[in-house]
Amino acid sequence: MRALVTGGAGFIGSHVADALLARGDEVHILDSLATGSLEKVPDGADLHEGDIRKDAARLFEEVRPEVCFHLAAQADVGTSVERPDYDADVNVLGMVRVLEAAREHGAHLVFSSTGGAIYGECDGPAPETHPRQPISPYGISKLAGEEYIFGWNRLFGSHHVVLRFANVFGARQEPSLEGGVVAIFLDRMQAGESTTIFGDGEQTRDFIYVGDVVRAVLAAGGHEGGVYNVGTGVEKSINEVHEACRRVTGDDREPEYGPARAGDVLRSVIDPSLAGRELGWRAEHDLDSGLRETWASMTSSA
């Protein structure tokens, strides 16, 4: 397959590009390097440095991809609060430009959306039909992106797929971006520095290992339409994640506690059963085994 990965110089996109190369695909990456970096781009992938907002049409014309994995985004909640116009520009306008280019060239699109930022507070594992109540500009812009996909599928008969990721963790995640609590904990522990938990640490999230996410993305590349949660269905509190990080790293320090962050939801967990039934996908890593893989790659590249 000739594949285009937008955001392929970023955390998840670079793992997707790795997996596509491993199965023998021709891999092109469109990335502005806004948060991504050259070091993450795998050998063998063709990097086209550019912006989805202005370069998507030209690149689709040049590459003519059969499938496009759209992972480029403004993916930081804090940035979306500070600069909602920039967030919407990339995540809505940029998304529409990619969608239009895909329509023009008959490419299949897989769109990376978010469960946590769209469902808001959850009583238990949220299915895809859970009320959508984003509580950040980021959640709103991702939801808008989804609606464009669904609308284009209705209007133009395309079969693009939306994947709603839970909290993804793994190698190459930037500790400087606020979403990756695992990356932050492991980075501090590796540096021998103290760690801080905001609030009482009993807030829960659904942590999914990046290798599992990549398998879901690849499965969606050959699937016709639909919206699927990509998570474990298992809630872990931040205190539990901290303990698990200490187990894996051998760090013996207790965390410090800071004030709760405004707008932090208490429970966020998504139900992956539909992806199990229709994509034949389920997570293979639990938190501990995913952390071991992540830590092994951090320490082997240190």
Query: Should residue 53 be labelled a site residue for ligand NAD when binding is judged by CB under 6 A?
Result: yes
Closest CA to 226 of 176, 279, 291: 279
Stretch that binds ligand NAD, among 73-81, 198-206, 237-245, 252-260 (CB under 6 A): 73-81
Alpha helices, DSSP H, located in 64-195: 77-82, 84-88, 95-105, 116-119, 137-156, 181-190
State the catalytic residue, choosing from 86, 119, 138, 148.
138
Q: How many residues does the chain have?
A: 302
| Strand partners of residue 236 | 205
Query: Should residue 98 be labelled a site residue for ligand NAD when binding is judged by CB under 6 A?
Result: no
Q: Binding to ligand NAD (CB under 6 A): which residues in 111-170?
A: 112, 114, 165, 167-168
Query: Should residue 73 be labelled a site residue for ligand NAD when binding is judged by CB under 6 A?
Result: yes
Q: How far is the CB of 254 from ligand NAD (least distance, A)?
A: 26
Say if strands 204-205 and 161-165 run parallel, antiparallel, or are unpaired. unpaired
Q: How far is the CB of 240 from ligand NAD (least distance, A)?
A: 17
Stretch that binds ligand NAD, among 34-42, 181-189, 218-226, 262-270 (CB under 6 A): 34-42
d(CA 161, CA 59): 21
d(CA 297, CA 170): 9
Active site residue 119: no
Stretch that binds ligand NAD, among 32-40, 150-158, 231-239, 277-285 (CB under 6 A): 32-40
Q: Which run of H or E residues covers position 109? A: strand 108-114
Selected from 90, 107, 183, 217, the binder of ligand NAD by CB under 6 A is 90
Closest CA to 119 of 85, 89, 146: 146
Which residues are known catalytic residues?
A: 138
Give contact residues for ligand NAD (rule: CB under 6 A): 7, 9-13, 30-36, 51-53, 71-75, 90, 94, 112, 114, 165, 167-168, 179
